[in-house]
Amino acid sequence: MVSLSDVKRWNTGQLDEIAHTMQQRLQILTHSGDDFGKVMPVEGWAGPAADNAGSAHHSLMSRIDKLAAGASIVAKALGQAADAITGVQHAITNAEELARKYGYQIADNGTVTDSYPDDKAPPELNPDDRARARTEVADAVAQALRTADDIDNDLASVFDRANHGDFGTGDEATVTAAAADGAKDPGLTLPEPPKDGTPSQNAGWWNSLSPAGQAILLRDHPDWLGNLDGLPGAVRSQANIARIPGERVDLQRQLAAAQAYIDQVKGIPDPTAGLVSNAIGEYQKIEAKLKSLDVIDSTLSEGNRQLLTLDTSGERVKAAIAVGNVDTAEHVAVFTPGFTSTVDGSLKGYDNDMQNLSQHSQNISNRFGDGGSVATVTWIGYEAPQTSDVLNPDLSVGSDNLAKIGAHKLDGFLNGLGASHDIHNQPLHLTALGHSYGSLTTGIALQQHTPVHDAVVFGSPGLDMQTPSDLKVPQGHMFSEWSDQDPVPRLDIAHNFGTSPYQGISGGSVASIEQLSTGDATGLGGQPLHATHEHGQYLDNNSTSQYNMANVVAGRPDLTVRHVQPWEVPSPPPAPGQPIPAPPGRDPQPPPR
């Protein structure tokens, strides 16, 4: 295995120079060889001597053909190696920059060591951010060395095969044709993504490839890239968009087969109970998937969108679409919807909500924040519970099974955004938004380490937490919203989903989850904000609820309108079925600039 110092010493300029020289010599060989090929047979010369001369000439031409084919692929492989090495060296440079930023050093064997003894890093370096950066640096170096090994082994293999005359047939019509045959060999191959790679490993692998190598994979293997957490959003989107036509053709084939099966079972005189209805159900499921692709196409046509997830497996299509560019945005929000959400039925409306939220967040960032750009993501990357499955204990909205499955995927998605930003030294303020059952999914995901800085849950039945300390979100940056006529937060009477984010614990208050107002209020600059009352209104445009989320997404949670927690209200709690009174929030004032 090559070492870090080996790779840093590799000289791409020398490789390019050798490849160029070989190409020049190859031209001489092909021209001279083709001229030599024309000397036989000699017109009018026959007999044993002529036969011997012809045999010797054919043997020499075969050797020249083999030499030309070998020289051709070696020159090609050297150029490929020079290009590939630039990607590896660039990846190592990025890893070293990230290491220095967080106070680490990289040893020659790739080991990452702490520059601050006894864990005495400066207070401005967040311990969680440092821990994540250390993993990302180690993974980036490991993947760079893995790619370097692949380059080294492939190039050595080409040399060895050329030395043994494995390229070309030795019987081409011309030496020029033999050289062309040699160049048909792929030469160096590109390493596949790490098997079952983490977002950090995936990011390290992709960053270790040269731009030319990345372009080849985008062209030849979009199926590898579209759903790979840790890759840049632009790459994932390009790959997923390229996959849509093939997915559509496959689904249309499945739909035709489903229709044929329906016709078949309808022809059975006494079909087994449920046979026809099940066949029709399968047809409708495929039909809904095709409609989902239509909705995705329609949403992308709005412009300024990225298709970050596309998964047609399972019962329903899963997708995530960003408004804006998640690679360049300093502020990114990921919204996870809940009960009954589907791509075909919900994506379009939620995308419009995210468009509005993005615009409001951008205005706040420009006027009162750091001016950083904003991107928002509608993440329907899991199969949310549906009305038809309410009585199914494994799929019911009353169970956290689907939320746990979704949380694992959401955790990877969030970490992928962080890894992609970190490896390119791009700043990222990441906000997680979760509505209804989607807040449960979000809450479970946030019990793992992610790069999320702020989170807002609204209309939440619970987060599967026992105490707020279960959530790996910075203290004071976890928020909740509850509209006064929304029954969902009070439905989980038995606390199947853990302690409510809206109620006290052991007589105290949930100090680390601050409730934001959903009532009438006035925003910055005297902007009138209207109240939201029902479960589906939290994202309504120009509402207090949306305004609060926009401030959080823009990195200014201090500007939100706060809500007095229900357990802090001195009056007795309302009777079951009655709305909890919503005391007015305070109108924030912009801080001094």
Q: Which run of H or of E encompasses 375?
A: strand 374-380
Does residue 44 sit in helix, strand or coil?
Answer: coil
* pLDDT value for 496: 80
d(CA 271, CA 85): 64
Query: Looking at the domain assignment, is residue 296 inside a domain?
Result: no
Query: Looking at the domain assignment, is residue 212 inside a domain?
Result: yes
| CA distances for 464 relative to 120, 256, 461, 467, 510, angstroms | 34, 43, 9, 9, 15
| CA distances for 205 relative to 137, 233, 481, angstroms | 12, 15, 40
Closest C-alpha to 451, from 481, 412, 424, 408: 412
- Count how many domains the chain has: 2
401, 345 Cβ separation under 8 angstroms: no
Residue position matching structure tokens 């009777």: 575
Query: Looking at the domain assignment, is residue 234 inside a domain?
Result: no
d(CA 27, CA 33): 10
H runs (alpha helix) in 301-400: 343-368
Can you give the residue range of the structural domain that contains 429? 306-568
Query: Looking at the domain assignment, is residue 43 inside a domain?
Result: yes
545, 365 Cβ separation under 8 angstroms: no
Counted residue by residue, the chain has a size of 593
Q: Judge residue 288's burial from the number of C-beta atoms within 10 Å of its C-beta, 0-12 exposed, 13-18 middle, 19 or more buried.
A: middle
Report CA dihedral (130, 136, 140, 146) to the nearest 10 degrees: 130
Query: Looking at the domain assignment, is residue 583 inside a domain?
Result: no
Query: Looking at the domain assignment, is residue 284 inside a domain?
Result: no
At 434, list the tokens.
């979760």
Which parts of the chain sit beneath pLDDT 70?
119, 492-494, 503-511, 564-593
* pLDDT value for 64: 95
Same domain, 341 and 487: yes
Query: Looking at the domain assignment, is residue 514 inside a domain?
Result: yes
Sign of CA dihedral 340, 341, 346, 350: positive
* pLDDT value for 503: 66
Query: Looking at the domain assignment, is residue 278 inside a domain?
Result: no
* pLDDT value for 581: 41
Residue position matching structure tokens 């038809």: 388
Closest C-alpha to 233, from 301, 300, 324: 324
